[in-house]
A and B are shown apart, each in its own frame.
Chain A
Amino acid sequence: MNRFLTQAAIAASLPTLLLACSPQTTPDADTTSESAPEEEVAAATDGTGELTIRANGEDFVRQGFVTKDGWEVSFDHVYVTLTGITAYQSDPPFDAEAGGTPEATETVAIAETVTVDLAEGDDNAEPIMVKSVEAPAGRYNALSWQMMPAAEGPAAGQTIWMQGTATKAGETIDFVVKLDPELEYVCGDFVGDERKGILNADEAADLEATFHFDHLFGDGEAPADDDINTGALGFDPLAAIADGGTLDVDMAALEAQLTPEEYQTLMGILPSLGHVGEGHCEETQLVDS
C-alpha cells in the first residue's frame, strides 16, 4: 500500500515537475497566515530615528584580492570623497535605469563633504560610517551622492586615492593611484543580503554607498571570459608603467603613460564603481579632469 501511495504521489506531482517552475522555491513563512508582521513598517509621519550613511569597499578592499591578470593586490588606503549625499523616501520606487530624480516624499541631505578610507580597519571591518543624522521615520529606498576631489587631508586634490601593494611572480609594486574625476550616482533601493533604509521611529537604520573595485581590476577567481574580467583594466597596464617597483601616478600621468585604449577603459570604468549593495545606479561623469 505504501508503494501505491508513493506512486500516486509521484503521479500527482509529475505535471508540476515537468513545468519550468522554480524547484528551489522555499516558502519561509505561512503565506496563508493573516497575522500582522512582527515589525510594522514605518510611515513618514511616525516620528524620527537615526539614519546612518555608510561607505563600503567590500572585501576586495578590506582583504585584498587577485586581479584578473594574477596580481595579488592589498590596499593600505582607499580614500573616497563624497558630497551631496541625499537619502530619499521615493514613491514610486526610483528606477535607476529610467534615470531622472527620485519622487521623494521625504528627503534627507547631508550637508558635509566627507572623505573616508574604505580600507580602514581589519579584514572583517564594518563598512565605514560616513555620517549619522536624525531623520524622519519611513522607508529610504533611494540614495544619491557625488564624488569630488578632497579639499584637504591625505587625499587632497583627489576623488579616489588608492595606495597599496601588488605582487605577482616575485615582483612587488608599491602603488599610489590618484584619480580626480567628478562623478554622480543616483541609486534606488539597496540590494543585498538584508534590506536597508527602513527607519522606524526611535530606532536606527542605515544606507550604503558600495564601491565595486573588481570592476576596475577584475577578479582572478572569476573565469577569464566573465564580463567582470573582459570589461576590467586589470593591473598589468599599471605594472607596465611602474618604475623600480614603485608606481605613483595621477590622472594626467595615467593619460600620458597608458595607451589610449587603456586610458579610455579606465575612464569608462570609473563611473561604474558606485552601487547600492549589488544594485546599480544612474551614473554621471560630471568632470573629466
Chain B
Amino acid sequence: MKGFGSALRSGLQHLGIVAIAMGSLPGVAIAHGAHIQARTATAMEIQATYDSGEPLAEATVQVFAPDDPQTPVYTGLTDADGKFVFVPTAPGNWEVSVRQAGHGDIAVVPVESEGAIASTFTNDAGLSLLQRGIVAGAVTWGCVGTALFFGRRGKQ
C-alpha cells in the first residue's frame, strides 16, 4: 500500500498539436504494399504515479468516451514511465481508469472542442491509501500522428 495518507501530486501541462509531413511511396501497384496515411490530431497523455513519484508501469488502462462510460474506447498498458497516450475524439468528460495490483483510480478529464483540456480541470483526483497522480499533459507525436494506420492494398 504505497503512499499512505499523503497528498496527491499532480500537474497539468499544455496540449500540443503537430503537423505531420508525409512523403508518398512510389506510385507503383504492388501486392500487399504498406499504405501509410497520417493526419494531424491532438493527443492526450496521462501519467500514473505513486506519490513517491514511482511510475505505475504496465498498469491496465481503460479510456471511456463521454457518450459511453461502459465500453472503453481504448485499452492498453502504461509504459515504463506510467504513461499512456490516447486521442480524445469528442468534447466532454473523458474517463481514464488505471489499475494495477489491486489498486486503481479513475481520472475524469474534461475535454473541449479541438481536443484541449478544459481550463477548469484541476486534476486533483487522488487516493487516500495508495496515493496516485494522474497527470494529463501534452504529447506531440512526430512523423505519424494519432491516426497512423496501415492499409493493405489489393492486388491490381
Contact = CB atoms under 8 A, between A and B. Distances in A.
B143 A12 contact: yes
B16 interface: no
A189 B99 CA distance: 13
B41 to A, nearest CB: 10
Contacts of A15: 142-144
A37 interface: yes
The interface residues of chain A, by DSSP majority, are classed as loop
A192 B103 CA distance: 9
A153 B89 CA distance: 54
B85 interface: yes
Interface string A46-90: 000000000000000000000000000000000000000000000
B108 interface: yes
B53 interface: no
Contact of B1 (A2, A272, A283): A272
Contact of A228 (B73, B102, B131, B148): B102
Interface stretch (A93-101, A120-128, A239-247): A93-101
A24 B106 contact: no
A278 B142 contact: no
Interface residues of A, number: 57
A256 interface: no
A9 B141 contact: no
A277 interface: yes
Interface in A1-50: 1-2, 5-6, 8-9, 12-16, 19-29, 31-32, 36-37, 39, 41
A95 B126 contact: yes
A198 interface: yes
B144 A24 contact: no
Contacts, number: 160
Interface string B59-97: 001001101111111111111110111110100000001
Contacts of B32: 2
A1 B30 contact: yes
Given A16-B143, A31-B89, A195-B69, A25 B74 contact: yes
A8 B73 contact: no
Nearest to B30: A1
Nearest to B73: A29
A234 interface: no
B11 interface: no
Given A25-B74, A283-B128, A278 B36 contact: no
Nearest to A272: B129
A31 B73 contact: yes
Given A29-B73, A41-B67, 6 more contacts: A12-B36, A13-B143, A20-B79, A22-B76, A97-B131, A283-B129
Interface of B: 1-2, 4, 7-8, 23, 25, 28, 30, 32-34, 36, 45, 61, 64-65, 67-81, 83-87, 89, 97, 99, 101-106, 108, 124-131, 139, 141-144, 147-148, 150
Interface of A: 1-2, 5-6, 8-9, 12-16, 19-29, 31-32, 36-37, 39, 41, 92-93, 95-98, 139, 188-189, 191-192, 194-195, 198, 212, 214-215, 222, 227-228, 231, 272, 277-283
